[in-house]
Amino acid sequence: MSGDEVWLGVDLGTQSVRVVAVTASGRIAGAGAEPLTGRRAAGRHEQDPEDWWRATAAACGRALREVPPGAVRAVAVDGTSGTILLTDADGTPLTPGLMYDDTRATEEARRADEAGAAVWAELGYRRMQPAWALPKLLWLLARHQGPARLAHQVDFVNRRLAGHAVPADLSNALKTGAHLIEETWPAGVMDALGVPADTLPDLVRPGTRIGTVCAAATEATGIPRGTPIIAGMTDGCAAQLGAGRLTVGSWNSVLGTTLVLKGVTEELVHDPYGAVYSHRAPDGEWLPGGASSTGAGVLARDFAGRDLRELDRLAERHEPARALAYPLVSEGERFPFAAPDARGFLLGGTGDEADDYAAVLQGVAYIERLCLDHLDLLGAPTGGDITLTGGAARSAYWCRLRADVLGRPVILPADPEPALGAAVLAASPGRRVAEVAAEMVAVRETIDPGPRADRFDDGYLRLVGELERRGWLPAPTAAHARARAASDRAAPTQEGTSR
Protein backbone atom coordinates (compact mmCIF):
# COMPACT_ATOMS: atom_id res chain seq x y z
CA MET A 1 0.00 0.00 0.00
CA SER A 2 1.51 3.32 -1.07
CA GLY A 3 1.23 6.62 0.78
CA ASP A 4 -0.76 8.15 -2.09
CA GLU A 5 -3.57 5.61 -1.83
CA VAL A 6 -6.70 6.11 0.28
CA TRP A 7 -9.53 3.89 1.42
CA LEU A 8 -12.98 5.30 2.08
CA GLY A 9 -14.93 4.46 5.22
CA VAL A 10 -18.61 5.43 5.34
CA ASP A 11 -20.35 5.43 8.74
CA LEU A 12 -24.15 5.56 8.70
CA GLY A 13 -24.85 6.87 12.19
CA THR A 14 -28.02 7.93 13.95
CA GLN A 15 -27.52 11.67 13.67
CA SER A 16 -25.23 11.90 10.65
CA VAL A 17 -23.32 10.13 7.90
CA ARG A 18 -19.56 10.46 8.33
CA VAL A 19 -17.02 9.65 5.60
CA VAL A 20 -13.23 9.53 5.89
CA ALA A 21 -10.51 8.95 3.30
CA VAL A 22 -7.64 7.21 5.07
CA THR A 23 -4.08 6.48 3.95
CA ALA A 24 -2.18 3.26 4.65
CA SER A 25 -0.53 4.90 7.69
CA GLY A 26 -3.88 6.03 9.09
CA ARG A 27 -3.68 9.69 8.10
CA ILE A 28 -7.08 11.24 7.44
CA ALA A 29 -6.66 12.69 3.95
CA GLY A 30 -10.25 13.90 3.75
CA ALA A 31 -13.43 13.88 5.78
CA GLY A 32 -17.04 14.89 5.39
CA ALA A 33 -20.29 14.68 7.31
CA GLU A 34 -23.95 15.33 6.65
CA PRO A 35 -26.74 15.36 9.29
CA LEU A 36 -29.66 12.96 9.46
CA THR A 37 -33.03 13.36 11.09
CA GLY A 38 -35.58 10.82 12.24
CA ARG A 39 -38.96 10.36 13.89
CA ARG A 40 -39.37 8.96 17.40
CA ALA A 41 -42.62 8.19 19.18
CA ALA A 42 -43.71 5.56 21.74
CA GLY A 43 -41.05 2.95 21.07
CA ARG A 44 -40.86 3.70 17.35
CA HIS A 45 -37.88 5.22 15.56
CA GLU A 46 -37.86 5.69 11.81
CA GLN A 47 -35.68 7.39 9.20
CA ASP A 48 -36.15 7.96 5.48
CA PRO A 49 -33.78 5.64 3.57
CA GLU A 50 -33.46 8.20 0.80
CA ASP A 51 -31.92 10.53 3.38
CA TRP A 52 -29.21 7.93 4.02
CA TRP A 53 -28.23 8.05 0.35
CA ARG A 54 -28.51 11.83 0.10
CA ALA A 55 -26.32 12.27 3.17
CA THR A 56 -23.83 9.64 1.97
CA ALA A 57 -23.44 11.39 -1.38
CA ALA A 58 -22.92 14.79 0.25
CA ALA A 59 -20.46 13.50 2.85
CA CYS A 60 -18.45 11.60 0.21
CA GLY A 61 -18.20 14.72 -1.91
CA ARG A 62 -16.75 16.68 1.00
CA ALA A 63 -14.34 13.91 1.98
CA LEU A 64 -12.93 13.70 -1.55
CA ARG A 65 -12.35 17.43 -2.14
CA GLU A 66 -8.62 17.24 -1.44
CA VAL A 67 -8.08 13.63 -2.54
CA PRO A 68 -6.20 13.30 -5.88
CA PRO A 69 -8.10 11.61 -8.71
CA GLY A 70 -7.34 7.91 -8.89
CA ALA A 71 -6.19 7.66 -5.25
CA VAL A 72 -9.29 5.83 -3.98
CA ARG A 73 -8.68 2.09 -3.77
CA ALA A 74 -11.89 0.79 -2.15
CA VAL A 75 -14.90 1.80 -0.07
CA ALA A 76 -16.71 0.06 2.81
CA VAL A 77 -19.87 1.07 4.66
CA ASP A 78 -20.90 0.44 8.26
CA GLY A 79 -24.35 1.10 9.70
CA THR A 80 -26.53 0.94 12.76
CA SER A 81 -27.18 -2.61 13.92
CA GLY A 82 -30.66 -4.00 13.31
CA THR A 83 -31.86 -1.14 11.09
CA ILE A 84 -33.88 -2.49 8.14
CA LEU A 85 -36.47 -1.69 5.48
CA LEU A 86 -38.31 -3.42 2.65
CA THR A 87 -37.52 -2.55 -0.98
CA ASP A 88 -38.84 -3.60 -4.36
CA ALA A 89 -36.76 -5.62 -6.84
CA ASP A 90 -35.04 -2.44 -8.04
CA GLY A 91 -34.01 -1.34 -4.55
CA THR A 92 -36.65 1.40 -4.21
CA PRO A 93 -37.84 1.77 -0.59
CA LEU A 94 -41.28 0.36 0.16
CA THR A 95 -41.16 1.24 3.86
CA PRO A 96 -39.36 3.65 6.16
CA GLY A 97 -36.16 2.47 7.77
CA LEU A 98 -36.99 0.94 11.16
CA MET A 99 -34.06 1.95 13.32
CA TYR A 100 -31.85 -0.07 15.65
CA ASP A 101 -33.82 0.89 18.79
CA ASP A 102 -37.34 0.59 17.38
CA THR A 103 -39.16 -1.80 19.71
CA ARG A 104 -42.59 -2.10 18.09
CA ALA A 105 -42.17 -5.79 17.18
CA THR A 106 -42.76 -7.28 20.64
CA GLU A 107 -45.16 -10.01 19.54
CA GLU A 108 -42.98 -10.83 16.53
CA ALA A 109 -39.98 -11.29 18.82
CA ARG A 110 -41.95 -13.91 20.75
CA ARG A 111 -42.77 -15.73 17.51
CA ALA A 112 -39.13 -15.63 16.44
CA ASP A 113 -38.07 -17.03 19.80
CA GLU A 114 -40.45 -19.98 19.46
CA ALA A 115 -39.45 -20.81 15.90
CA GLY A 116 -35.70 -20.34 16.30
CA ALA A 117 -35.02 -21.31 19.92
CA ALA A 118 -32.52 -24.05 19.05
CA VAL A 119 -30.60 -21.85 16.60
CA TRP A 120 -30.50 -18.82 18.89
CA ALA A 121 -29.22 -21.04 21.72
CA GLU A 122 -26.50 -22.43 19.46
CA LEU A 123 -25.46 -18.89 18.56
CA GLY A 124 -25.19 -17.87 22.20
CA TYR A 125 -27.77 -15.11 22.58
CA ARG A 126 -30.71 -17.51 23.17
CA ARG A 127 -33.50 -15.14 22.18
CA MET A 128 -34.45 -12.28 19.93
CA GLN A 129 -35.17 -8.79 21.24
CA PRO A 130 -37.99 -6.62 19.83
CA ALA A 131 -35.44 -4.10 18.54
CA TRP A 132 -33.64 -6.78 16.51
CA ALA A 133 -34.07 -6.97 12.77
CA LEU A 134 -35.88 -10.31 12.41
CA PRO A 135 -38.89 -9.33 14.56
CA LYS A 136 -39.09 -6.03 12.69
CA LEU A 137 -38.92 -7.88 9.37
CA LEU A 138 -41.88 -10.01 10.44
CA TRP A 139 -43.75 -6.85 11.46
CA LEU A 140 -43.11 -5.24 8.08
CA LEU A 141 -44.01 -8.33 6.06
CA ALA A 142 -47.32 -8.69 7.90
CA ARG A 143 -48.27 -5.19 6.80
CA HIS A 144 -46.97 -5.19 3.25
CA GLN A 145 -48.81 -6.72 0.31
CA GLY A 146 -46.84 -8.16 -2.61
CA PRO A 147 -43.20 -9.08 -3.23
CA ALA A 148 -40.51 -7.33 -1.24
CA ARG A 149 -36.87 -7.70 -0.36
CA LEU A 150 -35.16 -7.17 2.97
CA ALA A 151 -32.43 -4.53 3.03
CA HIS A 152 -30.28 -3.66 6.01
CA GLN A 153 -29.29 -0.01 6.19
CA VAL A 154 -25.84 -0.84 4.78
CA ASP A 155 -27.35 -2.96 1.99
CA PHE A 156 -29.47 -0.04 0.82
CA VAL A 157 -26.47 2.28 0.48
CA ASN A 158 -24.24 -0.42 -1.03
CA ARG A 159 -26.87 -1.12 -3.68
CA ARG A 160 -26.94 2.55 -4.62
CA LEU A 161 -23.15 2.51 -4.87
CA ALA A 162 -23.11 -0.63 -7.03
CA GLY A 163 -26.22 0.02 -9.10
CA HIS A 164 -27.44 -3.56 -8.60
CA ALA A 165 -28.44 -5.99 -5.86
CA VAL A 166 -25.66 -6.82 -3.41
CA PRO A 167 -25.19 -9.47 -0.71
CA ALA A 168 -25.62 -8.62 2.96
CA ASP A 169 -22.69 -8.99 5.31
CA LEU A 170 -22.92 -11.47 8.18
CA SER A 171 -22.35 -8.74 10.75
CA ASN A 172 -25.43 -6.73 9.85
CA ALA A 173 -27.39 -9.96 9.28
CA LEU A 174 -26.78 -11.28 12.81
CA LYS A 175 -29.90 -9.64 14.26
CA THR A 176 -31.90 -10.85 11.26
CA GLY A 177 -31.23 -14.44 12.33
CA ALA A 178 -28.27 -15.37 10.13
CA HIS A 179 -26.49 -18.51 11.32
CA LEU A 180 -22.98 -17.14 11.89
CA ILE A 181 -21.42 -20.57 12.37
CA GLU A 182 -22.82 -22.01 9.13
CA GLU A 183 -22.75 -18.58 7.43
CA THR A 184 -26.20 -18.96 5.90
CA TRP A 185 -29.85 -18.24 6.66
CA PRO A 186 -31.53 -20.90 8.87
CA ALA A 187 -34.02 -22.05 6.24
CA GLY A 188 -36.17 -24.07 8.61
CA VAL A 189 -36.64 -21.12 10.95
CA MET A 190 -37.43 -18.71 8.13
CA ASP A 191 -39.94 -21.17 6.64
CA ALA A 192 -41.66 -21.57 10.00
CA LEU A 193 -41.94 -17.79 10.31
CA GLY A 194 -43.29 -17.37 6.81
CA VAL A 195 -40.35 -15.41 5.44
CA PRO A 196 -40.08 -16.12 1.69
CA ALA A 197 -36.60 -17.21 0.63
CA ASP A 198 -36.51 -14.61 -2.14
CA THR A 199 -37.02 -11.87 0.45
CA LEU A 200 -33.58 -12.52 1.92
CA PRO A 201 -30.29 -11.36 0.35
CA ASP A 202 -27.26 -13.59 -0.14
CA LEU A 203 -24.74 -13.55 2.71
CA VAL A 204 -20.99 -12.90 2.68
CA ARG A 205 -18.33 -12.29 5.31
CA PRO A 206 -17.31 -8.71 6.08
CA GLY A 207 -14.32 -7.77 3.96
CA THR A 208 -15.62 -9.52 0.83
CA ARG A 209 -15.69 -7.61 -2.45
CA ILE A 210 -19.36 -7.28 -3.45
CA GLY A 211 -19.24 -4.96 -6.46
CA THR A 212 -17.81 -1.76 -7.89
CA VAL A 213 -19.06 1.82 -7.88
CA CYS A 214 -21.35 2.49 -10.84
CA ALA A 215 -21.52 5.58 -13.05
CA ALA A 216 -24.63 6.99 -11.34
CA ALA A 217 -23.03 6.67 -7.91
CA THR A 218 -19.86 8.32 -9.20
CA GLU A 219 -21.89 11.31 -10.36
CA ALA A 220 -23.63 11.55 -6.97
CA THR A 221 -20.67 10.90 -4.64
CA GLY A 222 -17.47 11.65 -6.51
CA ILE A 223 -16.13 8.15 -5.82
CA PRO A 224 -14.37 7.01 -9.01
CA ARG A 225 -16.29 4.59 -11.18
CA GLY A 226 -15.06 1.02 -10.77
CA THR A 227 -13.88 1.51 -7.17
CA PRO A 228 -14.28 -1.84 -5.33
CA ILE A 229 -17.08 -2.00 -2.76
CA ILE A 230 -16.12 -4.12 0.26
CA ALA A 231 -18.79 -5.71 2.48
CA GLY A 232 -18.97 -3.82 5.76
CA MET A 233 -20.09 -4.42 9.34
CA THR A 234 -22.30 -2.86 11.99
CA ASP A 235 -21.16 0.46 13.42
CA GLY A 236 -20.19 -1.18 16.71
CA CYS A 237 -17.99 -3.72 14.96
CA ALA A 238 -16.49 -1.04 12.72
CA ALA A 239 -15.63 0.97 15.82
CA GLN A 240 -13.89 -2.11 17.21
CA LEU A 241 -11.75 -2.26 14.07
CA GLY A 242 -11.14 1.48 14.19
CA ALA A 243 -9.97 1.21 17.80
CA GLY A 244 -7.22 -1.16 16.67
CA ARG A 245 -7.48 -3.39 19.73
CA LEU A 246 -8.23 -6.76 18.14
CA THR A 247 -6.40 -9.09 20.52
CA VAL A 248 -8.34 -11.56 22.67
CA GLY A 249 -9.47 -9.92 25.91
CA SER A 250 -9.49 -6.35 24.59
CA TRP A 251 -12.66 -4.26 24.49
CA ASN A 252 -13.92 -1.19 22.71
CA SER A 253 -16.63 1.04 24.13
CA VAL A 254 -18.44 3.22 21.61
CA LEU A 255 -20.33 6.03 23.30
CA GLY A 256 -22.40 8.05 20.88
CA THR A 257 -26.16 8.44 20.91
CA THR A 258 -26.18 5.06 22.67
CA LEU A 259 -23.51 2.83 24.21
CA VAL A 260 -22.04 -0.16 22.37
CA LEU A 261 -19.42 -2.42 23.94
CA LYS A 262 -17.59 -5.12 21.99
CA GLY A 263 -14.58 -7.30 22.70
CA VAL A 264 -12.57 -10.14 21.20
CA THR A 265 -12.75 -13.77 22.29
CA GLU A 266 -11.57 -17.07 20.87
CA GLU A 267 -14.78 -18.87 21.77
CA LEU A 268 -18.42 -18.01 21.23
CA VAL A 269 -19.94 -16.47 24.38
CA HIS A 270 -23.30 -17.86 25.51
CA ASP A 271 -25.64 -15.62 27.50
CA PRO A 272 -28.62 -17.31 29.19
CA TYR A 273 -30.19 -13.86 29.70
CA GLY A 274 -30.12 -12.94 26.02
CA ALA A 275 -28.32 -9.58 26.32
CA VAL A 276 -24.95 -10.49 24.77
CA TYR A 277 -24.54 -11.51 21.16
CA SER A 278 -21.37 -12.32 19.23
CA HIS A 279 -20.44 -11.18 15.75
CA ARG A 280 -17.92 -13.16 13.73
CA ALA A 281 -14.71 -11.21 13.10
CA PRO A 282 -13.35 -11.18 9.55
CA ASP A 283 -10.26 -13.03 10.82
CA GLY A 284 -12.34 -15.78 12.47
CA GLU A 285 -12.46 -14.75 16.13
CA TRP A 286 -15.67 -13.70 17.87
CA LEU A 287 -16.72 -10.17 18.78
CA PRO A 288 -19.09 -10.47 21.76
CA GLY A 289 -20.88 -7.51 23.26
CA GLY A 290 -24.09 -5.62 23.09
CA ALA A 291 -25.79 -2.27 22.61
CA SER A 292 -27.34 -0.38 25.51
CA SER A 293 -30.14 2.14 25.17
CA THR A 294 -28.27 4.53 27.46
CA GLY A 295 -25.91 7.08 25.99
CA ALA A 296 -25.05 10.63 25.06
CA GLY A 297 -28.36 11.03 23.24
CA VAL A 298 -29.77 11.99 26.65
CA LEU A 299 -27.59 15.10 26.62
CA ALA A 300 -28.98 16.22 23.27
CA ARG A 301 -32.50 15.60 24.57
CA ASP A 302 -32.30 16.96 28.12
CA PHE A 303 -29.59 19.61 27.83
CA ALA A 304 -30.32 20.95 24.36
CA GLY A 305 -28.66 24.27 23.65
CA ARG A 306 -26.46 24.16 26.73
CA ASP A 307 -22.68 24.55 26.67
CA LEU A 308 -21.62 20.98 27.43
CA ARG A 309 -17.99 22.00 28.00
CA GLU A 310 -19.11 24.34 30.73
CA LEU A 311 -21.34 21.64 32.20
CA ASP A 312 -18.36 19.24 32.12
CA ARG A 313 -16.40 21.77 34.18
CA LEU A 314 -19.23 22.13 36.67
CA ALA A 315 -19.76 18.35 36.87
CA GLU A 316 -16.28 17.91 38.36
CA ARG A 317 -17.67 19.43 41.56
CA HIS A 318 -20.30 16.68 41.83
CA GLU A 319 -18.30 13.47 42.22
CA PRO A 320 -20.34 11.56 43.04
CA ALA A 321 -23.57 13.33 42.17
CA ARG A 322 -26.34 13.51 44.76
CA ALA A 323 -28.83 12.36 42.14
CA LEU A 324 -28.80 8.86 40.66
CA ALA A 325 -29.57 8.58 36.95
CA TYR A 326 -30.44 5.72 34.66
CA PRO A 327 -30.16 7.72 31.42
CA LEU A 328 -32.12 5.85 28.75
CA VAL A 329 -32.25 7.47 25.34
CA SER A 330 -35.39 5.54 24.44
CA GLU A 331 -37.77 3.11 26.11
CA GLY A 332 -36.51 -0.40 26.80
CA GLU A 333 -33.05 -1.76 27.58
CA ARG A 334 -31.01 -4.23 25.51
CA PHE A 335 -27.65 -4.56 27.31
CA PRO A 336 -26.34 -5.45 29.90
CA PHE A 337 -29.83 -6.82 30.48
CA ALA A 338 -32.84 -7.24 28.22
CA ALA A 339 -35.87 -5.39 29.58
CA PRO A 340 -38.35 -4.02 27.03
CA ASP A 341 -40.29 -2.35 29.86
CA ALA A 342 -37.28 -0.48 31.28
CA ARG A 343 -37.65 3.29 31.63
CA GLY A 344 -35.05 5.88 32.46
CA PHE A 345 -35.14 7.64 35.81
CA LEU A 346 -33.50 10.32 37.92
CA LEU A 347 -33.70 9.74 41.68
CA GLY A 348 -32.84 12.31 44.32
CA GLY A 349 -32.64 15.23 41.94
CA THR A 350 -32.30 18.62 43.63
CA GLY A 351 -32.99 20.87 40.66
CA ASP A 352 -29.28 21.69 40.42
CA GLU A 353 -28.56 21.42 36.68
CA ALA A 354 -24.87 20.67 37.21
CA ASP A 355 -25.67 17.82 39.62
CA ASP A 356 -28.29 16.37 37.28
CA TYR A 357 -25.84 16.58 34.39
CA ALA A 358 -23.12 14.90 36.46
CA ALA A 359 -25.59 12.16 37.40
CA VAL A 360 -26.25 11.45 33.73
CA LEU A 361 -22.54 11.16 32.88
CA GLN A 362 -21.97 8.93 35.88
CA GLY A 363 -25.06 6.86 35.12
CA VAL A 364 -23.81 6.01 31.63
CA ALA A 365 -20.42 5.09 33.09
CA TYR A 366 -22.13 2.88 35.69
CA ILE A 367 -23.96 1.01 32.92
CA GLU A 368 -20.65 0.64 31.06
CA ARG A 369 -19.15 -0.94 34.18
CA LEU A 370 -22.19 -3.18 34.59
CA CYS A 371 -21.75 -4.38 31.00
CA LEU A 372 -18.22 -5.54 31.81
CA ASP A 373 -19.38 -7.17 35.04
CA HIS A 374 -22.05 -9.09 33.13
CA LEU A 375 -19.54 -10.20 30.49
CA ASP A 376 -17.19 -11.36 33.25
CA LEU A 377 -20.05 -13.38 34.75
CA LEU A 378 -20.41 -15.16 31.39
CA GLY A 379 -16.73 -16.11 31.37
CA ALA A 380 -15.53 -13.62 28.75
CA PRO A 381 -11.98 -12.34 29.32
CA THR A 382 -12.38 -8.72 30.47
CA GLY A 383 -8.93 -7.82 31.74
CA GLY A 384 -7.33 -6.59 28.49
CA ASP A 385 -7.13 -3.12 27.01
CA ILE A 386 -10.25 -1.00 26.77
CA THR A 387 -10.52 1.78 24.20
CA LEU A 388 -13.04 4.60 24.17
CA THR A 389 -14.50 5.73 20.85
CA GLY A 390 -17.60 7.51 19.62
CA GLY A 391 -18.60 11.14 19.91
CA ALA A 392 -18.36 11.18 23.71
CA ALA A 393 -14.63 10.43 23.49
CA ARG A 394 -14.20 14.10 22.54
CA SER A 395 -15.08 15.02 26.13
CA ALA A 396 -11.83 14.86 28.11
CA TYR A 397 -13.77 15.03 31.36
CA TRP A 398 -16.14 12.19 30.52
CA CYS A 399 -13.20 9.98 29.51
CA ARG A 400 -11.45 10.63 32.85
CA LEU A 401 -14.72 9.95 34.68
CA ARG A 402 -15.18 6.64 32.87
CA ALA A 403 -11.61 5.56 33.77
CA ASP A 404 -12.42 6.29 37.41
CA VAL A 405 -15.77 4.48 37.39
CA LEU A 406 -14.26 1.47 35.59
CA GLY A 407 -11.23 1.53 37.87
CA ARG A 408 -8.85 0.81 34.99
CA PRO A 409 -6.81 2.60 32.32
CA VAL A 410 -8.59 3.55 29.13
CA ILE A 411 -7.00 4.13 25.73
CA LEU A 412 -8.06 6.88 23.34
CA PRO A 413 -7.29 6.20 19.66
CA ALA A 414 -6.14 9.19 17.64
CA ASP A 415 -9.21 9.15 15.38
CA PRO A 416 -11.94 7.39 17.38
CA GLU A 417 -14.73 6.76 14.91
CA PRO A 418 -16.46 3.84 13.17
CA ALA A 419 -15.73 5.41 9.76
CA LEU A 420 -12.04 4.69 10.33
CA GLY A 421 -12.90 1.06 11.06
CA ALA A 422 -14.84 0.90 7.80
CA ALA A 423 -11.77 2.24 6.01
CA VAL A 424 -9.65 -0.45 7.71
CA LEU A 425 -12.10 -3.03 6.39
CA ALA A 426 -11.92 -1.52 2.90
CA ALA A 427 -8.15 -2.01 2.96
CA SER A 428 -8.28 -5.56 4.32
CA PRO A 429 -9.05 -7.94 1.42
CA GLY A 430 -6.16 -10.39 1.12
CA ARG A 431 -4.77 -9.53 4.57
CA ARG A 432 -5.64 -10.06 8.22
CA VAL A 433 -7.76 -7.19 9.45
CA ALA A 434 -5.76 -7.05 12.69
CA GLU A 435 -2.58 -6.37 10.69
CA VAL A 436 -4.21 -3.60 8.67
CA ALA A 437 -5.62 -2.02 11.83
CA ALA A 438 -2.21 -2.08 13.50
CA GLU A 439 -0.86 0.01 10.62
CA MET A 440 -3.78 2.43 10.29
CA VAL A 441 -4.82 3.06 13.91
CA ALA A 442 -2.77 5.30 16.22
CA VAL A 443 -3.16 5.90 19.97
CA ARG A 444 -3.63 9.47 21.16
CA GLU A 445 -3.59 9.01 24.91
CA THR A 446 -3.91 6.56 27.80
CA ILE A 447 -5.83 7.74 30.87
CA ASP A 448 -5.23 6.08 34.22
CA PRO A 449 -7.87 6.13 36.98
CA GLY A 450 -7.24 8.89 39.49
CA PRO A 451 -6.82 8.63 43.24
CA ARG A 452 -9.94 7.58 45.13
CA ALA A 453 -11.58 6.23 42.01
CA ASP A 454 -13.56 3.98 44.37
CA ARG A 455 -15.62 7.02 45.43
CA PHE A 456 -18.04 6.01 42.68
CA ASP A 457 -18.58 2.49 44.01
CA ASP A 458 -21.52 3.41 46.23
CA GLY A 459 -23.33 5.17 43.37
CA TYR A 460 -22.68 2.20 41.11
CA LEU A 461 -24.04 -0.27 43.63
CA ARG A 462 -27.07 1.96 44.28
CA LEU A 463 -27.89 1.81 40.57
CA VAL A 464 -27.34 -1.97 40.50
CA GLY A 465 -29.72 -2.36 43.43
CA GLU A 466 -32.36 -0.10 41.90
CA LEU A 467 -32.27 -1.92 38.55
CA GLU A 468 -32.58 -5.26 40.34
CA ARG A 469 -35.40 -3.99 42.58
CA ARG A 470 -37.40 -2.93 39.53
CA GLY A 471 -37.11 -6.45 38.12
CA TRP A 472 -34.99 -5.51 35.10
CA LEU A 473 -31.51 -6.69 36.12
CA PRO A 474 -31.13 -10.47 36.70
CA ALA A 475 -30.15 -11.35 40.26
CA PRO A 476 -26.99 -13.28 39.23
CA THR A 477 -25.64 -10.23 37.38
CA ALA A 478 -26.40 -7.97 40.33
CA ALA A 479 -24.72 -10.39 42.75
CA HIS A 480 -21.66 -10.66 40.51
CA ALA A 481 -21.39 -6.87 40.29
CA ARG A 482 -21.45 -6.62 44.09
CA ALA A 483 -18.89 -9.40 44.46
CA ARG A 484 -16.50 -7.76 42.02
CA ALA A 485 -16.85 -4.40 43.77
CA ALA A 486 -16.12 -6.04 47.12
CA SER A 487 -13.13 -7.85 45.64
CA ASP A 488 -11.74 -4.64 44.20
CA ARG A 489 -12.07 -2.91 47.54
CA ALA A 490 -10.34 -5.78 49.34
CA ALA A 491 -7.41 -5.88 46.93
CA PRO A 492 -5.80 -2.85 45.28
CA THR A 493 -6.56 -2.64 41.54
CA GLN A 494 -3.89 -4.34 39.48
CA GLU A 495 -3.36 -3.36 35.85
CA GLY A 496 -4.60 -6.15 33.60
CA THR A 497 -6.73 -7.73 36.33
CA SER A 498 -9.01 -4.85 37.27
CA ARG A 499 -12.67 -4.76 36.53
36, 249, 386, 409 from 497: Cα distances, Å = 41, 11, 12, 11
Residues 425 and 240: beta-carbon distance below 8 Å: no
Helix, strand or coil, per DSSP, at residue 169: strand
pLDDT at 122: 96
Average pLDDT over residues 89-93: 97
| 53 and 107 share one domain | yes
Kindly give the residue spans of alpha helices, DSSP state H, lying in 195-294: 215-221, 235-243
Helix, strand or coil, per DSSP, at residue 132: coil
| 254 and 119 share one domain | no
What's the CATH code of the domain at 185?
3.30.420.40
Whether this prediction's pTM lies above 0.95 is answered by no
| 307 and 414 share one domain | yes
- Report which of 333, 337, 335, 334 is spatially closest to residue 345, judged by C-alpha positions: 333
Which of the listed residues 187, 207, 232 is the one where a domain comes to its end? 232
Instruction: Give backbone dihedrals phi and psi of 312, rounded to 5 degrees, phi first.
Output: -60, -45
Instruction: Give backbone dihedrals phi and psi of 326, rounded to 5 degrees, phi first.
Output: -115, 95
pLDDT at 492: 57
Q: Which structural domain range is residue 296 located in?
A: 245-490
Count CB neighbours of 481 within 10 A.
Answer: 28
**Res 266 pLDDT > 60:** yes
Q: What is the dihedral of CA 226, 230, 236, 237, to 10 degrees?
A: -150
Distance of CA 177 to the CA centre of its chain: 17
Q: pLDDT per residue over 125-157, tens digit each?
A: 989 989 999 999 999 999 998 999 999 999 999
Number of domains in the chain: 2
| 318 and 396 share one domain | yes
**Res 160 pLDDT > 70:** yes
Instruction: Give backbone dihedrals phi and psi of 149, rounded to 5 degrees, phi first.
Output: -125, 140
pLDDT at 247: 87
User: Cα–Cα distance between 393 and 323 in angstroms, integer?
Assistant: 24
| 267 and 346 share one domain | yes
Q: pLDDT per residue over 216-244, tens digit each?
A: 999 999 999 999 999 999 998 998 899 98
**Res 2 pLDDT > 70:** no
| 384 and 449 share one domain | yes
pLDDT category at 499 given cuts 50, 70, 90 is: low
| 53 and 158 share one domain | yes
